A and B are shown apart, each in its own frame.
Chain A
């Protein structure tokens, strides 16, 4: 480690301890103020460590990154164990185990077949064995087969048939005279013009978008022109999605800054 690195490390350590002491000192004397002071300081340190990546990759960022990997892996493992194995499986297979884990036993739902996924799960653990790894393909085949069958029907219905169904909209709405039609020309309004225009944009937008993604025919002539309109519609979508994403990320940033300024430093209300 370079001399600058050591100095920065010492400064960070001192600031951490000072912050911990100050936060613990201002905490609730009735509660766990030492632990709470540490947690708030640690959260602020992690926030600043991740933000330091904007300058360049550094040991503090790497620390936070590796911590995240370990903590999140254990978090999901514990949740899966307690909610799926203990919450759903144990009450259905054994009263003794249910009592041990303090979950209510469900004798009405007892089923011998619930032992099968346990056996398949144990077979999956054979993947860790250098010689018996091939056995883990059986539970994997079960998951892959079942998911493939489910996805085939689910996605064909929701992402294909239902989308086509929703695209075929009436392009002309009930005519109520020129006055009604032209009084609502703006996108700001909700009149006949906007409804008709919106339905046309959806129908022709989907059609042109699909044409753009159809590569089995050369994009020339009317097909090429339709494909070009498809790109325009896609560009509007990408722009709108971009704007939406940016604002979402900025709201997260505001949240983190609020935490640093209000919860940690206490300088903003």
Chain B
């Protein structure tokens, strides 16, 4: 029951979606669309499992005082604050007690964690957490400046949710990727020495493509480099990419077949 039913389910749904492609009937396509929607809906629950896992790992890190445990408070605080931002909208121009409400919720969660960790003072921390929750509930009930929603008829009104995305996620994400330019440059210094034919080909192809996107070099080198770079990207690059993609495609198809036939059961984990 624990292992046989999942294998049967994988086989049944795998064979169905595999053969569905060969039966372009209206009802088969209806079921196919249905299954795609189902995957998306179940995916949200899977995401909730992931969030809980992140929460548990962070609490465990604080509890055992592992190296860098203090940063887990940052993760938990930002997680909870962003959740609150994602579930609230501002009703007018004023913010009211909104930020005090967010702080009370975050503080309540921190106090509950502290109550779980410090058993000796559990009642004290739990009581303080209760006070914070009560304060948050009072603020939510009495403050007309915001309410629990995400989108109104006027569109996305959750301004803090959008602002945190614009001013926190985007800067971190873009800067992290931009840093790779420096690391790639240092790797290139080691890899790009024209020691043999292969390294020379690598160097030339990279230089031509980089020159094509360099605004300072383009007026000097003219259209020739741009066209050569386009040819490099569209012809030899495509040829090798195609060889790689064909290998990848075969690999994915073989793995999918192994999963459907029950040969590959890694997704079940242990137990």
A244 and B214 alpha carbons, distance in the complex (Å): 11
CA distance A245 to B174 in the complex (A): 14
In the complex, which range does the number of interface residues on chain B fall in? 35 or more
CB pair A66–B71 under 8 Å, yes or no, is yes
User: Is A146 a contact partner of B44 (Cβ separation < 8 A)?
Assistant: no
Q: B83 contacts A235, CB within 8 Å? A: no
A166 CB within 8 Å of chain B: yes
Contact present for A78 and B245 (CB under 8 Å): no
- In Å, the complex CA distance between A18 and B48 comes to 40
Cβ-based interface call for B24 (8 A): no
| In the complex, B2 has a CB within 8 A of chain A | yes
Nearest Cβ on chain B to A255's Cβ, whole angstroms: 6
Quick check: A68 and B243 within 8 Å, CB to CB? no
Across-interface contacts of B76 in A (CB, < 8 A): 70
B248 within 8 A of A: yes
Are B239 and A77 in contact, with the CB atoms below 8 A? Answer: no
Bound Cα distance A187, B223 (Å): 11
* Residue among A39, A144, A204, A243 having the largest count of chain B Cβ atoms under 10 Å: A243
On whether the beta carbons of B246 and A249 are closer than 8 Å, the reply is no
Is B247 located at the chain interface by the 8 A CB criterion?
Answer: yes
- A105: shortest Cβ distance to chain B, in Å? 14
Residue in B7, B34, B153, B243 whose Cβ sees the most chain A Cβ within 10 Å: B243
Among candidates A53, A138, A237, A245, residue contacting B236 with C-beta atoms closer than 8 Å: A237
B182 beta carbon closer than 8 Å to chain A: yes
Whole-angstrom distance between the Cβ of A163 and the nearest chain B Cβ: 5
Residues on A with C-beta less than 8 A from B49 are 124-125, 127-128
Decide yes or no whether A179 CB sits under 8 A from chain B: no
Query: A102, B82: Cβ atoms under 8 Å?
Result: no
A239 touches B204 (CB 8 A): yes
Q: Provide the residues of chain B in CB contact with A267, threshold 8 Å.
A: none
| Contacting pair A71 B168 (CB below 8 A) | yes
Q: Taking the nearest CB of chain B, how far is it from the CB of A70, in angstroms?
A: 3
Closest chain B residue to A241 by CB distance?
A: B237
Does the CB pair A240–B206 fall under 8 Å? yes
A139 to B247, CA, bound (A): 30
Among A78, A114, A151, A202, the residue within 8 A (CB) of B252 is A151
* Interface of chain A residues 172 through 216 with chain B (CB within 8 A): 187-188, 194, 198, 201-206, 208-210, 212-213
Q: Are A253 and B10 in contact (CB under 8 A)?
A: no
- The one of A67, A73, A166, A245 in contact with B51, judged by C-beta atoms closer than 8 angstroms, is A73
Q: Which of B55-80 contact A (CB under 8 A)?
A: 68, 71-72, 74-80
Is B123 close to A, CB under 8 A? no
Q: Which of B10, B75, B185, B205 contacts A144 (CB 8 A)?
A: B10
* B209 → A minimal CB distance (Å): 3
A9 CB–B CB distance under 8 Å: no
Give chain A interface residues in 134-185, CB to chain B under 8 Å. 134, 137-153, 155-156, 158-160, 163-164, 166-167
In the complex, chain A residues whose CB is within 8 Å of the CB of B127: none
**Interface hit among B14-22, B110-118, B128-136, B137-145:** B14-22
The distance from the CB of A169 to the nearest CB of chain B, in whole angstroms, is 11
Tell whether A96 is near chain B: CB-to-CB under 8 Å. no
B142 CB, min distance to chain A CBs, angstroms: 21
List A residues 223-269 near B (Cβ within 8 Å): 230-247, 249-253, 255-256, 259
B96: CB under 8 A from chain A?
no
Give chain A nearest CB distance to B172 CB in angstroms.
5
Shortest Cβ distance from A113 into B: residue = B34
Contact of A142 with B240 at beta-carbon distance under 8 Å, contacts A51-B179, A134-B2, A256-B174 already known: no
Q: A12 interface residue, CB < 8 Å from B?
A: no
Q: Determine if A50 is an interface residue (Cβ-Cβ < 8 Å).
A: yes
The 3 closest A-B pairs by CB, nearest first: A159-B249, A205-B239, A209-B243
Measured CB to CB, the residues of B under 8 A from A are 2-3, 5-7, 9-18, 20-21, 34-35, 37-52, 54, 68, 71-72, 74-83, 85-87, 95, 149-153, 161, 163-182, 184-185, 188, 197-199, 201-210, 213-214, 223-224, 227-229, 231-250, 252-253, 255-257, 259-260, 267-269, 271
Using a CB–CB cutoff of 8 Å, the interface residues on chain A facing chain B are 32, 35, 39-40, 42-44, 46-47, 50-51, 53-54, 62-82, 84-86, 88-89, 101-102, 113-114, 116-118, 120-122, 124-125, 127-128, 133-134, 137-153, 155-156, 158-160, 163-164, 166-167, 187-188, 194, 198, 201-206, 208-210, 212-213, 230-247, 249-253, 255-256, 259
Known: A69-B54, A120-B45, A234-B243. 18 other contacts (CB 8 A): A43-B171, A44-B171, A53-B179, A69-B78, A73-B51, A80-B43, A139-B42, A141-B5, A141-B9, A145-B12, A148-B17, A148-B255, A150-B17, A206-B240, A210-B243, A238-B202, A242-B202, A243-B210
